[in-house]
Amino acid sequence: MADTQASFLTYKGKPLVRKGNTIYYGNMSDPFVIMLSVASTHEVHGVKIADKVIVQLLNTDPNINPLEAIVKRTEKNGMYAAIDIASIWLQRALKAE
């Protein structure tokens, strides 16, 4: 299992997994994870940069209705602001458990 986790990109010790315009931050085995969805982008010197990012704190309990699994939600300008609030929310949610 340690080899699997070592292959993921991490931020502050938690894995980041990307699928298209969606990034999951945290361990799926934990009670909460963060979902970052890039809503819009702009281009700078040929590179796409995230403009608007939707941040959602999700409860990973499989018995919960997916709409009720969203604990917190916000929209941020830029990936830095989004990942910053995501790490704070995830840390607080996991500490409260």
Q: Say whether pLDDT at 59 is over 50.
A: yes
Cβ-in-10-Å burial (0-12, 13-18, 19+) of 61 comes to: exposed
pLDDT in tens, 81-92: 999 999 999 999
For residue 41, the 8-state DSSP code is: E
In this structure, are residues 56 and 37 in contact, taking their beta carbons and an 8 Å threshold?
A: yes
Could you read off the pLDDT of 1-58 as tens digits, one per residue? 455 555 789 999 999 999 999 999 999 999 999 999 999 999 999 999 999 999 999 9
45 backbone φψ class: left, alpha, beta (φ>0; ψ -120 to 50) = left
Strands 47-59 and 14-19, by their bridges, are unpaired
* 10 contacts: CB under 8 Å, gap ≥ 6: 16
